[in-house]
Structure 1
Amino acid sequence: MDDLMAARSQMALSLGFHIIFACIGMIMPFLMAISHYKFLRSGKEKYKVLTKAWSKGVAIFFVTGAVSGTMLSFELGLLWPEFMKHAGPIFGMPFSLEGTAFFIEAIALGFFLYGWEKFNPWFHWFTGVVVGISGLASGILVVAANAWMNSPAGFDYVNGEYLNIDPMAAMFNDAWFTQALHMILAAFVATCFAVAGIHAWMLTKGKNSPIHKAALKISLTIGAVAAILQPISGDLSAKDVAVRQPAKLAAMEAHFKTETSAPLIIGGIPDEENQTVNYAIKLPGALSFLAHGDFNASVTGLDQIPKDEHPPVTVTHFAFQIMVGCGMLLMLTGIVWLLGLWKNKRFIYSKRFLGLIALLTPLGFIAVEAGWFVTEVGRQPWILYGIMKTKEAVTPMPGIVYSFILYAVIYLSLAGIVSLLLVRQIKNLDQNPDLSLPSNT
């Protein structure tokens, strides 16, 4: 493994772990706030127990997200010094604002965790809402910085110099809205379905039902709504990518030749050497419609892109198919859940359906990881699209492979510790005497 691949692998590993911690850290506070609101309005003890349990999970992921995010910040400077030399002054604003949001989140979380019986109940609830809002703001600001890498703005690039810098234009670049919307909805889907899956699994095991049923209803209802909205944001993102990054769209769809009425490819194995896709289902004209809103529109293929600027097609295509496939399955499950709440509660609380929800626990995060592969691998060979290539930004320091191994050990250890803490929290939840209350409490 050469140093460039080691540096890219280290960033991929770091992002792969951090995105899970960050998604849960952003979304769990909202679930916590909903449960707390229900407790304040109804006085039912099960919601108080659930709120306290979820708040402990929020604290765990806040800490791990802070650690993994800090490591990522150092990696940007250590692994990609040439990139940071030019990019830092341009997109530093969203990172500085993200730091402010982080501090607000930390203060609000402290108030919430230690404010039981000390604050006015509704002020206490409000501090939990602030945790969610500030966490969401942090996520949007970080995604805005990543969007800038896909859609550079806020400066003039003249003879290798970055001039006339406008940080606001850089932050609100052409890609920030579609990327932020898609990422936030994905975070809601992944986190809510994961939480629902854990509680559904506990229900199938015959554990105390009041708190698990309440948790399942809150998390899966929010997740279902987000899953239904996600294809809309995906369509907006695809149309945006078709205009700004035609090479990425071509790699996503394994679209090798420019053509009108371009077919949408479902599945298939790309053959990059012969520029074909084997074993694929093709829907005539569908790609043209999805990309440009016209079944007869021309869609740029990789034949119009210089060969040294082609993204890795196979990885990008498979990642895109996995993301879409997982998203569609979660959306269909969400629709069934919402219909069941309306028409047939017996079915959605049956062991068979609860078992399905439990099986879907990791699916949202698989989709999130696949989506980031599409975003990052599909941008290659550029680190700053159309301006700076990844190989030009990497550190000249040798031995990056050892750093990669060290970081892998750290992140795997962190994941193991978090998993053990969560298992303990779930066990403690079921040992709580309040769970023996009747289901109508």
Structure 2
Amino acid sequence: MSTVALLTGALDGGGAASPADFMAARQQMAFTLGFHIVFASIGIGLPALTLLAEWRSLRTGDPVYAELARRWMKAAGVLFAVGAVSGTVLSFEMGTLWPGFMDTYGQVFGAAFALEGIAFFIEAIFMGVYLYGWDRLTPRAHFIVGVPIVVAGLMSATFVLTVNSWMNQPRGFKLVDGEVTDVDPLAAMFNPATPVQAAHLILASLMVCGFLVASVYAVGLLRDRRAGRDDRYNRLGFAIPFSLGAVCAPLQVLVGDFAVRFVADSQPAKFAAMEGIEHTRAGQPFKFAVFEIPNALSLMLRYDAHATLRGMDSVPAGERPPAEVVRVAFELMIVLGVLLLALAAWWGLAWYLRRRRAARAGLPWHPWFLRAAALSGAAAVIAMEAGWTVTEVGRQPWIVYGVMRTEEAVSPEPGLRFGLYVVLVVYAFLAFATVSVLRRMRHEYEPAVPDAPAPEPSPEKTGAAS
């Protein structure tokens, strides 16, 4: 869902809304999007993890895989419901907070929202059949029923992303005397930004879900280690989602590099804010925190150490995004992404050594690895939120890049800030209820899963293997 996720920044210009209401509208949309995107990511990744565990159960007959699949899909059902609520709120906010945007351009991207609605209903229908079908369908039929959940979830996310990508690269219409004409919905959906943004979000969602689920089981493994237990349920519950996150991490680096290059060409002001480029010059240095490498940014971006890159001074003052917000968010995303990549490399190296030595002791059950893995879920969520901040704040002051300014889209009705207060209270209750339900589901689990053959050795026996 595309929004104006601007937490701070200058207000240029005399929109109809008061400055307080204008900022409240931005903050409300930013908060609700930041809340929803976590559940949307889990909705993409958790059904995929469930099907993977169920497939392994069908292949091996191992009851541990079956129990993981059952519990993960129950949790997915709860989170799907919460995501549906928060997504509905976002849909209403698009009309109530930004009527100028919806009235003018709704006909351009409306088809994408319609297709997203169809995908959502398909996902919901098969989710119900899948949950109700436990022990009522044959194992193979039950697995097949789960496939449309994954496909529909991916399609739903992609259709929504086409709207956001259109806001960054508007296509598929003509603007004549302020009126939208010659609408081409397909050109709007498949604009130049769609492939890179869709790939970037889907990989981010899979990473977030993988590391977030794995972090729960990492805590369980640490507790097992302290208690001298060897719980295969926790080990498999960790290995499956962490492997998903570890596989997506290097792919995300490649897609992210392409995304940065795309932004440099299509939104130079956003790129200048991301990289902290104040002045246009040849041979731009690469800056990170207090470090600076001469000519490195020009070399990395254009493969020419003396290439000229545009700075913030090339953009009119009224069209510049809040550079500090964008740069801090970009650097935070990069740092956390590199740390997650390093953790994934640790896991991958250990897996390779295990395969080469044919020894189970190769997997990294070292306590420090598990402690880092326990933090990986929160790190992935923060990195994704930082990435969305870069995308949305970096587009300011435009709600539709180069076409409509944000203050032109906001509702002129007074009292928008009171809506923000209501949303904060309601979402606090929703978050509390969600956590309470998930905790209750966790406590209902009794570790009575029958032992599978040939369990791996306990972390106590592996010592400091890494």
With the shorter chain as reference, the TM-score category is over 0.9
Q: Provide the TM-score with structure 2 as the length reference.
A: 0.89
Query: Quick one: structure 1 residues 292 and 157, their matched pair in 2 at CA, closer, same or farther if it must change by over 3 Å?
Result: farther
**How do 1:152-171 residues align onto structure 2 when only pairs under 5 Å count?**
152-171=170-189
**1:214-255: CA deviations, max 9, x gaps?**
121111111101001111111111111111110000111111
**1:259-311: CA deviations, max 9, x gaps?**
122122212xxxxxxxxxxxx21233332244334333211111110000010
Aligned to 1:69: 87
The question of whether the paired residues in 2 share the 8 Å contact of 1:94 and 1:171 is answered with: yes
Aligned to 1:93: 111
**How do 1:129-208 residues align onto structure 2 when only pairs under 5 Å count?**
129-206=147-224
Query: Quick one: structure 1 residues 294 and 157, their matched pair in 2 at CA, closer, same or farther if it must change by over 3 Å?
Result: farther
**How do 1:16-415 residues align onto structure 2 when only pairs under 5 Å count?**
16-206=34-224, 209-267=231-289, 280-343=290-353, 345-346=361-362, 348-415=364-431
**1:154-196: CA deviations, max 9, x gaps?**
0112332222110000000111111111111111111111111
What's the offset of the Cα at 1:436? 6.2
How far apart are the structure 2 equivalents of 1:167 and 1:63? 30
**1:307-332: CA deviations, max 9, x gaps?**
00010011100000001111110011
Q: Provide the TM-score with structure 1 as the length reference.
A: 0.94
SS in 1 for 2:172: coil
Q: How many residues align?
A: 428
Query: Quick one: structure 1 residues 202 and 438, their matched pair in 2 at CA, closer, same or farther if it must change by over 3 Å?
Result: farther
Q: Which amino acid counterpart does residue 320 of structure 1 have in structure 2?
A: F
Q: Which amino acid counterpart does residue 59 of structure 1 have in structure 2?
A: G
Query: Quick one: structure 1 residues 120 and 80, their matched pair in 2 at CA, closer, same or farther if it must change by over 3 Å?
Result: same
The question of whether the paired residues in 2 share the 8 Å contact of 1:241 and 1:248 is answered with: yes
How far apart are the structure 2 equivalents of 1:225 and 1:297? 34
- Listed as ranges, the gaps of 5+ residues in structure 2 are 1-18, 355-360, 457-466
SS in 2 for 1:282: strand
**1:47-81: CA deviations, max 9, x gaps?**
11100000011101110110000000000000000
Q: Which amino acid counterpart does residue 331 of structure 2 have in structure 1?
A: Q
The question of whether the paired residues in 2 share the 8 Å contact of 1:209 and 1:439 is answered with: no
Q: Which of 417, 427, 432 does residue 443 from structure 2 map onto? A: 427
Q: Which of 2, 5, 11 does residue 29 from structure 2 map onto? A: 11
How far apart are the structure 2 equivalents of 1:435 and 1:282? 57
**1:76-112: CA deviations, max 9, x gaps?**
0000001000111000111100001001101111111
How far apart are the structure 2 equivalents of 1:365 and 1:439? 35
Q: Which amino acid counterpart does residue 260 of structure 2 have in structure 1?
A: A
How far apart are the structure 2 equivalents of 1:283 and 1:67? 47
The question of whether the paired residues in 1 share the 8 Å contact of 2:351 and 2:362 is answered with: no
Q: Which amino acid counterpart does residue 230 of structure 1 have in structure 2?
A: Q
What's the offset of the Cα at 1:418? 1.3
SS in 1 for 2:377: coil
Segment of structure 1 superposing worse, 220-229 or 352-361 = 352-361
**1:415-437: CA deviations, max 9, x gaps?**
111112222222233x2421666
The question of whether the paired residues in 2 share the 8 Å contact of 1:28 and 1:191 is answered with: yes
The question of whether the paired residues in 1 share the 8 Å contact of 2:353 and 2:362 is answered with: no
> Structure 1 vs Structure 2: percent identity of aligned residues?
42
Cα RMSD between the aligned structures? 1.6
The question of whether the paired residues in 2 share the 8 Å contact of 1:210 and 1:438 is answered with: no
